[in-house]
Chains A and B, each alone.
Chain A
Amino acid sequence: DVKVTQSSRYLVKRTGEKVFLECVQDMDHENMFWYRQDPGLGLRLIYFSYDVKMKEKGDIPEGYSVSREKKERFSLILESASTNQTSMYLCASSLLSPRGETQYFGPGTRLLVL
């Protein structure tokens, strides 16, 4: 059974704090993704990674950075949290393939920035 886990279900942080969101997958997937989900907007891609130490910007990378030191782990970092980063954050992973592959999601982290 596929498994993507995220370090926290709920987080409350203050403006200006540094925030780390961790994601781990046990499927040996090459691709990993970070999305944010806001009401009425669908999922928007922040960053993705297709290999260890590799990263690519998604549609909304501003204010975020990522780290992939091990294949199974992908971290999202908010260097200085702001209130407009209050959102649901979803991690996903998939196989690397020339064809489309299913992305499997974690349970999400709901972040509130005060």
Chain B
Amino acid sequence: GESVGLHLPTLSVQEGDNSIINCAYSNSASDYFIWYKQESGKGPQFIIDIRSNMDKRQGQRVTVLLNKTVKHLSLQIAATQPGDSAVYFCAENIGGNNNDMRFGAGTRLTVKP
């Protein structure tokens, strides 16, 4: 399933399925993007990042895709597990030494056993 991560929508998937979470970013000059995972009651945790000179980056069970033409970022989670249940949000760096980041509101992923 897919979901747009701007107003905390919910994505529900079955354990073992793949998840796709989407994010539309705002600034065409943004050059660095991060996906964070936030579990209930905890701070955001870094998952994966990508710079604007790439269009795909893979980690362990996660892949980030960047489409600069339409200013779109997605996070793919392979073989989703119950421990993946959390809020996921994207962040874009809009430039400068001060690391000015803008954050999406997030998508709540629920994994059903």
Contact = CB atoms under 8 A, between A and B. Distances in A.
What bracket does the count of chain B residues touching chain A fall in? 20 to 34
Classify the interface of chain A: helix, strand, loop or mixed.
Answer: loop
Interface stretch (B12-20, B63-71, B72-80, B102-110): B102-110
B42 interface: yes
Interface string A55-87: 010000000000000000000000000000000
Contacts of B46: 102, 104
A99 B51 contact: yes
B33 to A, nearest CB: 8
A42 B104 contact: yes
A114 interface: no
A97 B8 CA distance: 31
B99 A31 contact: yes
Contacts of B93: 100-101
B68 to A, nearest CB: 15
B3 to A, nearest CB: 15
A83 B2 CA distance: 37
Contacts of B44: 43, 90, 105
Nearest to B32: A100
B31 interface: yes
B45 A105 contact: yes
A42 B49 contact: no
Contacts of B97: 50, 96-98
Contacts of B106: 42
A50 B97 CA distance: 9
B45 A102 contact: no
A106 B44 CA distance: 8
B52 to A, nearest CB: 9
Interface of A: 4, 31, 39-43, 45, 48, 50, 56, 90, 94-108, 110
Given A102-B34, A107-B42, A108-B42, 7 more contacts: A39-B8, A41-B105, A45-B101, A96-B99, A97-B99, A101-B32, A101-B99
